[in-house]
């Protein structure tokens, strides 16, 4: 597990570095006014994908890992979800292209489809504990994206257009790779059934997933309330903390199937603790970024974004909470406590977005970073309390309730 987790962490870090470079290049080329609406639309696409998924991927990973769901059932559910997702994305793009083309929000449609494909086709690999293959898919995603971005810039495509096109092509390619590496016995057959509900049993997973996805609406809310300049300042630096979050995500992805197979947290911890250093390393990286925020902003995106230094500082401090929240929430879900996780995360994100709307009106981009920092810390405290107050978390009973 340690080697696979390291591979996933490495590919994640490289991938997020690539994305950060693409965003930095675009921000420097276009300025806050032009960059803000596009990055807001990309964030809206990620949110839309999260709502369409509604926790189904996480549920399928747990049920496949514990053999409570058949591979055939996953294939049927996946086909239905992809069909619904495509319809939703097309409808979204058509509406915003006609009603509000200047907002660039129509871009969210193709971004959402690419994210849904990439994440859904990785489910069998995650359930089988093949984090190494998940890592390869993620690396392919980002390498294809940066290659497409470079080619589009070379043929004089404007940077904002090149950015969202490349971030669509990358995940689609990764989804094809994820499906290709599966053997015949591990590859779910896609069979659409209009009577099948692909989200059956995923209510609490879905509430948590949708809430986490909704966090990316902070840029869209800021764009609407505080203006594109504030959204551009925030969007220029908000992804700089993602490598830390995704280091914790690598640990979580590799560990979740193991935790799901354990009877209690006490049984699971000895099997996952060797890789827990990734989370500690991510925390130290957050502290370093917070300390160096001001010079980093000036060096990377220029003096035009100098006000983003304080924004990055509080985003980095808030990411400490986010880094710890990922594995805590996932492990609680894997051990059957998805209801309490959904309650904590959903209510926390709702409060955060309300604070973003209020504070960004008063303080601009800095207000949004302050809201993020405060709520991630509060969610962390509540998740720790959920573990402490329930030391023994019994494994879910086996059964056929998810089989077709």
Cα-based distances in Å from 330 to 23, 227, 278: 29, 35, 16
- Distance, CA of 372 to CA of 310 (rounded, Å): 13
- Of residues 113 and 100, the one with the higher pLDDT is 113
- Predicted confidence (pLDDT) at residue 268 exceeds the cutoff of 70: no
The pLDDT > 70 percentage for the chain reads 81
Residues in the chain: 404
Contacts of 357 (CB under 8 A, 6+ apart): 221, 225
| Joined tokens for residue 321 | 């909470």
Chain centroid to Cα 103, Å, comes to: 23
pLDDT of residue 274: 67
- Distance, CA of 221 to CA of 240 (rounded, Å): 20
- Distance, CA of 102 to CA of 89 (rounded, Å): 18
pLDDT category at 87 given cuts 50, 70, 90 is very high
Give the chain's mean pLDDT: 78
The pLDDT > 90 percentage for the chain reads 3
pLDDT category at 90 given cuts 50, 70, 90 is very high
- Predicted confidence (pLDDT) at residue 358 exceeds the cutoff of 70: yes
pLDDT category at 247 given cuts 50, 70, 90 is low
Cα-based distances in Å from 265 to 258, 269, 277, 309, 358: 11, 6, 18, 40, 39
What pLDDT, in 10s, does the model give residues 205-234?
767 777 776 776 777 787 777 777 777 777
pLDDT category at 399 given cuts 50, 70, 90 is very low
- Distance, CA of 312 to CA of 314 (rounded, Å): 6
| Joined tokens for residue 132 | 């190494």
DSSP 31: -
- Predicted confidence (pLDDT) at residue 262 exceeds the cutoff of 70: no
pLDDT of residue 24: 79
- Among 105-114, 301-310, 381-390, the range with the most confident prediction by mean pLDDT is 105-114
pLDDT category at 386 given cuts 50, 70, 90 is confident
What pLDDT, in 10s, does the model give residues 141-183?
888 989 999 999 888 888 888 888 998 988 889 888 888 877 6
């Amino acid at each position: 597990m340690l080697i696979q987790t390291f591979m996933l962490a490495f590919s994640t870090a490289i991938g997020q570095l690539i994305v950060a470079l693409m965003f930095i290049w675009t921000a420097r080329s276009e300025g806050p006014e032009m960059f803000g609406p596009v990055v807001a639309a990309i964030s809206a696409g990620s949110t839309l994908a999260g709502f369409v998924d509604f926790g189904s991927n996480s549920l399928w990973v747990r049920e496949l890992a514990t053999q409570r769901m058949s591979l055939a059932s996953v294939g049927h559910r996946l086909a239905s979800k992809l069909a619904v997702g495509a319809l939703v994305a097309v409808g979204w793009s058509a509406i915003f292209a006609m009603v509000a083309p200047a907002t660039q929000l129509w871009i969210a449609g193709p971004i959402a489809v690419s994210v849904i494909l990439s994440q859904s086709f990785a489910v069998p690999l995650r359930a089988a504990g093949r984090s190494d293959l998940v890592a390869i898919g993620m690396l392919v995603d980002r390498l294809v994206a940066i290659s497409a971005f470079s080619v589009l810039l070379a043929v004089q495509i404007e940077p904002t257009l090149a950015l969202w096109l490349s971030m669509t092509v990358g995940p689609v390619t990764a989804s094809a790779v994820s499906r290709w590496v599966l053997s015949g016995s591990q590859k779910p057959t896609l069979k659409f059934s209009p009577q099948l509900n692909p989200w059956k049993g995923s209510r609490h997973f879905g509430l948590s997933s949708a809430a986490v996805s909704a966090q990316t609406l902070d840029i869209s809310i800021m764009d609407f309330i505080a203006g594109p300049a504030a959204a551009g300042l925030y969007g220029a630096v908000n992804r700089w903390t993602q490598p830390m979050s995704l280091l914790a995500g690598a640990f979580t992805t590799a560990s979740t199937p193991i935790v799901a197979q354990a009877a209690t947290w006490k049984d699971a911890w000895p099997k996952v603790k060797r890789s827990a250093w990734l989370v500690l390393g991510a925390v130290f990286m957050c502290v370093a970024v917070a300390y160096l925020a001001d010079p980093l902003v000036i060096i990377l995106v220029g003096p035009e974004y100098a006000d983003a230094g304080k924004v990055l500082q509080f985003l980095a401090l808030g990411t400490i909470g986010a880094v710890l929240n990922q594995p805590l929430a996932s492990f609680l879900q894997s051990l059957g406590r998805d209801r309490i996780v959904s309650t904590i995360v959903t209510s926390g994100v709702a409060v955060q977005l309300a604070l973003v709307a209020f504070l960004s009106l008063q303080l601009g981009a800095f207000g949004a970073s302050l809201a993020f920092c405060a709520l991630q810390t509060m969610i962390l405290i509540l998740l720790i309390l959920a573990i402490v107050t329930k030391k023994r978390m019994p494994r879910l009973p086996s059964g056929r309730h998810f089989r077709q």
